[in-house]
Amino acid sequence: MSQGFEHVPFREIVERIKDKISHNVSGRVLDRHVAEAIGLKAASIPVYRQRNSVPWTNVLMFCETYDVSSDWLIFDRDITHS
């Protein structure tokens, strides 16, 4: 059975976003960098993390803007075609 969106930990998505934007940031990638990348205020990242809630619109816009696979960002699945 496939995993539904409601079971996706926001903290894991944040870590993958940090991985993707790390080449654009000098030093350690912080929550404020993630917030900027997904179009949120920096103070909202800890709130989403605490509630384990995902701002889906922002996450999907990040995928579009940064040309990132939503399967990778959300489920950590690399989809490659042979």
Question: 6-62, pLDDT tens digit by residue?
Answer: 678 999 999 999 999 999 899 999 999 999 999 999 999 999 999 989 999 999 999
More confident of the two residues 41 and 2: 41
Distance CA 9, CA 6 (A): 8
DSSP 30-81: -HHHHHHHHT--TTHHHHHHHHT---HHHHHHHHHHHT--HHHHHH------
- Domain 5-70, CATH 1.20.1280 — does that match? no
Q: Does the structure show a pLDDT above 50 at 1?
A: no
More confident of the two residues 63 and 78: 63
pLDDT band with cut points at 50, 70 and 90 for residue 78: confident
pLDDT value of position 8 = 83
pLDDT value of position 58 = 97
pLDDT value of position 80 = 57
